[in-house]
Structure 1
């Protein structure tokens, strides 16, 4: 993906800026507390908003030079790495309000592919300009650190998920994690469409496709969930959480 051209300075009032972002799930990232009107205007000019990525397209690929961080405005992505024999390993799923591209900060090259699972929109933040602005605006720098810390915590949760859990625990943790993330964005915590395939879920959880399908069927037979194509309804959240008693992976 090509780095966006310099964004022209625009006259913008605080009221207009708030209105433009009032329906955006990225409000906390783009409008951290404690910024002045001028600082907000500087940040607004930096972000290239509404960049469209069609389903199946790559936002970036492994080996490409690092230029920007990307905040998902709408849509869903998966990150994948390829093994030496060409097999795809899913390393994460990312939804609106989450930041992508952090993998490349240390090496200055992306370490994975980021593929859109549905038609999506992202906000592109050229990293060098963002870094310069963070030095000038402490509130923005603190907020970016918090976002990075959240991603590290999520990675630790995934490691726990794959290392310590049985198949049914992994799938229960995965569904509960999606439930929590959808709820945090104002969507239903009990019913949602899976943007990924069962094979992709299995790749992420370290399970075979047959195991994912069999476990979902078992959950449905036990009254924990209902499944209709890609639509999942969590009928018994307490039952799913009980399955994870003593496990930390549901916080992945």
Structure 2
């Protein structure tokens, strides 16, 4: 299925300088003129339907994708077809960085809900970044953030038990949503429990049991996909000493 078949053909009018996630995205810190130059690279913003693939393993690198609305997951498949979720992305975050080193994508990216992305042609982005040091700096920060996130994930897998992993995961979502102006204590999980289990390296039943234990400790209440954090400090205390960065 071609990219054009996956997305709507309508141009979205919001520019980089007017975007609601500007402070979390690639144009952060750019002047209005610089942001407009970046905006000109985005020929068309695309809508991605829930469940549709933004790109798949082996697809050539054409663009980086800034998430404007909605959320995504990235994954890889084992030889026997099992899914390994490698990340969850929300507005202001960038997809496609996995392909920079090899010029082909090394994971799949699927929309967890109806979403919108801003595709930035990578070749043109590289050229513009050479002309705008502030843009190159932002691109380097995004790449560095991905490296730190990978390191934190490895640390979590090695140091935390199941309940601690769940606590860190919920705190991470809370923190990221708060940065976007949403409630840090009440939110909706866009991903299924099976996907959470895959991401955290746990079995599905372990995730369900862990959420029950967190509820019994009066830390969180999870009803289907609705999450209510009852004690932020309690969750933080649970993972104290395990890891100093939230994934």
- TM-score between the two structures when normalised by the length of structure 2: 0.91
- Cα 1:54–1:18 change in 2 (3 A) is closer
Moved over 4 A (4+): 1-4, 17-20
Aligned counterpart in structure 1 of residue 237 of structure 2, from 224, 234, 242 = 242
Name whichever of 214-223 and 55-64 sits farther off: 214-223
**Is the 2:25–2:93 Cα contact (8 Å) retained in structure 1?**
no
Q: CA deviation at 1:23?
A: 4.5
Asked if residue 169 in structure 1 is aligned to residue 158 in structure 2, the reply is: no
Residue by residue, what CA displacement relative to the aligned partner does 1:118-173 show, whole Å, maximum 9, x if unpaired? 00000000000000000111111111111111111111111111121101110000
1:33 aligns to 2:29 (yes or no): yes
1:221 is aligned to: 216
Q: Distance in 1 between matches of 2:245 and 2:165?
A: 8
- Provide closer, same or farther for how the CA distance between residues 136 and 202 of structure 1 changes in structure 2, counting only shifts above 3 A: same
Unaligned runs of 5+ in 1: 5-16
C-alpha distance in structure 1 between counterparts of 2:61 and 2:92, whole Å? 21
Query: What's 2:7 paired with?
Result: none
Q: Would you say how many aligned residue pairs link Structure 1 and Structure 2?
A: 239
Distance change in 2, residues 1:251/1:236 (3 Å): same
Alignment of 1:14-25 (within 5 A): 21-25=17-21
Change (3 A) 1:56 1:95: same
RMSD: 2.0
Gaps of at least 5 residues in structure 2 are 5-12
Please, what TM-score do these two structures have when normalized by structure 1?
Answer: 0.89
Provide the residue aligned with 1:123 in structure 2: 118
